[in-house]
Structures are given as structure tokens and as C-alpha cells.
């Protein structure tokens, strides 16, 4: 068992957007703060961002700094939570992609889990790396040049990756040691894996807990339908207005 090292005086960035998986942010953040770390929630917009439990809305957290207000040099380590929505938003953000590139160029620790590695792939950083993720992301990472391992936690140089909430206990244990200064494994960052170990095979079926989650959801309330309709109408109105301005120009 890896012994956690003190995070006192360490400054950690947690890069997250709306739709982050609540447990993947809340549990590691609580553990890091308990070890004395100063943790900032960094996001694409100011205010409060909404978490999810699978696809159900969950608690919100306050944003400490926006992505345009920070630099990799401000922090000692970076955590990227997953979720279905959060990393999809982050990977479309040029400042978010550049933020993780800067972290990696400096050799600073980066930890992520679940769908979080999508951002690393979109930043063009996964070629030659050994890593893991939510099994559904396996093909994305392999196609982006990574070796994907079906293991609870994988460390490769300055990266620590994990499959998701099912591996939260070993991930947090390793995370505390990793961010506390645990020596990197022998493989240098960005270097091809010795002997180019083959990726673990694709899964044959998705998790039953996810398959069954939609089955037990209640029907949407009238308020939900009205809000969804209003949001769609607002988007379409803005889209049409922009098209009209372009034609007029």
C-alpha cells in the first residue's frame, strides 16, 4: 500500500465544467484538503457549476478561478474529474487544452479518471502513453496513440489515470501520494512503452448499473419540459439572428 504524503503547502487545480461527475470531484477534493492542500476549482465560466450523478443533476460547486485567469505555473498539480458532459465541454475549449499542455510540458502531475482523459486526447498528449479510463473511452485513447490498460489505477510518468467511481478508493489513495511527491515510475513522460505492451481488449458489454439507470428515472415534470423548450427556443432564436446578420452583411 502506498503511504500518502503530506499535501500541505501544495496548490492543486481541479479543472471542471458543468456536468462533472459529483463523486469524482467531491471525494478527491475533500481528501486533498484534509491533507492540507489548497485546492482551486477552475472552470470555463465564473459562478457555480452543476455536478451530476450519472445523468441526474447533483450539487453545485463554486468556481474559484476561470480558465482565462490561471496558468500552469500557478499550481503544483492538476486533477480533471470525469462525467459524461464535463470533459466533452472541456475538450472543446482552446484555453483548457492549452492549460493541460502547459502542465504536461512542465512535467507537473496530472490526474484524471473516467471520461476525463478525453481532454488529454484532444490536447494531443496521449501518443505513447500508458493509461486507463472509463472503458467506453478505450477506443478514443487507443486511436489517439495511447496504450489502454483495464486496471483500477495506472501511473505513467507525470500522469495518474483511473477507470471511474468504481475505483475511487485506490485512486484517491494513489492520488494523495502522487500529488504529495511520490517518485514517477521509470517510464519517462511521452516515451514509448518498453516493448509496446498491447492495450487491454474492448469490453463485451457496458455496465449494467448504467444500462438500468434510465429505466428507473421518473417522467420529466412539466417545469422541466417548459425549461427545455425555452432553452431550445432561445438557442434557435440566437442562431437565426446570427444567420440573418451574416446574410445582411
Cβ(58)–Cβ(69) below 8 Å: no
Please work out, in degrees rounded to the nearest 5, the angle formed at the alpha carbon of residue 196 by the alpha carbons of 117 and 203.
50
Indicate if 239 belongs to the active site: no
Cβ(83)–Cβ(50) below 8 Å: no
Q: Residue 66's beta-bridge partner residues?
A: 43
The three cell numbers locating residue 214: 434510465
Residue 57: which of 37, 84, 28 has the closest Cα? 84
- Count CB-CB contacts under 10 A for residue 222: 7
What is the rounded distance in angstroms from the CA atom of residue 16 to the CA atom of residue 25? 8
Residue tagged active-site, from 91, 97, 115, 182:
115
Residue 234: enclosing H or E segment and its boundaries?
helix 222-248
What is the rounded distance in angstroms from the CA atom of residue 182 to the CA atom of residue 225? 50
The three cell numbers locating residue 46: 465564473
Report, as residue numbers or ranges, the catalytic residues.
Answer: 115
Amino acid at each position: 500500500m502506498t503511504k500518502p504524503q503530506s499535501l500541505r503547502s501544495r496548490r492543486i487545480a481541479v479543472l471542471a465544467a458543468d456536468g462533472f461527475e459529483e463523486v469524482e470531484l467531491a471525494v478527491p477534493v475533500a481528501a486533498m484538503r484534509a491533507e492540507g492542500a489548497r485546492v482551486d476549482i477552475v472552470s470555463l465560466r465564473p459562478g457555480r457549476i452543476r455536478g451530476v450523478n450519472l445523468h441526474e443533476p447533483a450539487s453545485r460547486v463554486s468556481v474559484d478561478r476561470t480558465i482565462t485567469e490561471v496558468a500552469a505555473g500557478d499550481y503544483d498539480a492538476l486533477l480533471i474529474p470525469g462525467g459524461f458532459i464535463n470533459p466533452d465541454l472541456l475538450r472543446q475549449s482552446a484555453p483548457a487544452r492549452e492549460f493541460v499542455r502547459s502542465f504536461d510540458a512542465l512535467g507537473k502531475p496530472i490526474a484524471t479518471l473516467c471520461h476525463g482523459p478525453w481532454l488529454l486526447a484532444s490536447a494531443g498528449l496521449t501518443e505513447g502513453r500508458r493509461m486507463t479510463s472509463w472503458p467506453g473511452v478505450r477506443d478514443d485513447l487507443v486511436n489517439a496513440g495511447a496504450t489502454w490498460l483495464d486496471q483500477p489505477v495506472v501511473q505513467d510518468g507525470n500522469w495518474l489515470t483511473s477507470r471511474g467511481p468504481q475505483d475511487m478508493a485506490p485512486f484517491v489513495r494513489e492520488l494523495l501520494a502522487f500529488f504529495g511527491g511520490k517518485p514517477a515510475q521509470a517510464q519517462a513522460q511521452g516515451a514509448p512503452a518498453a516493448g509496446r505492451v498491447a492495450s487491454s481488449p474492448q469490453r463485451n458489454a457496458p455496465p449494467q448499473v448504467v444500462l438500468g439507470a434510465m429505466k428507473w428515472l421518473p417522467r420529466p415534470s412539466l417545469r422541466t419540459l417548459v425549461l427545455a423548450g425555452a432553452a431550445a427556443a432561445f438557442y434557435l432564436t440566437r442562431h437565426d439572428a446570427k444567420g440573418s446578420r451574416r446574410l445582411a452583411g
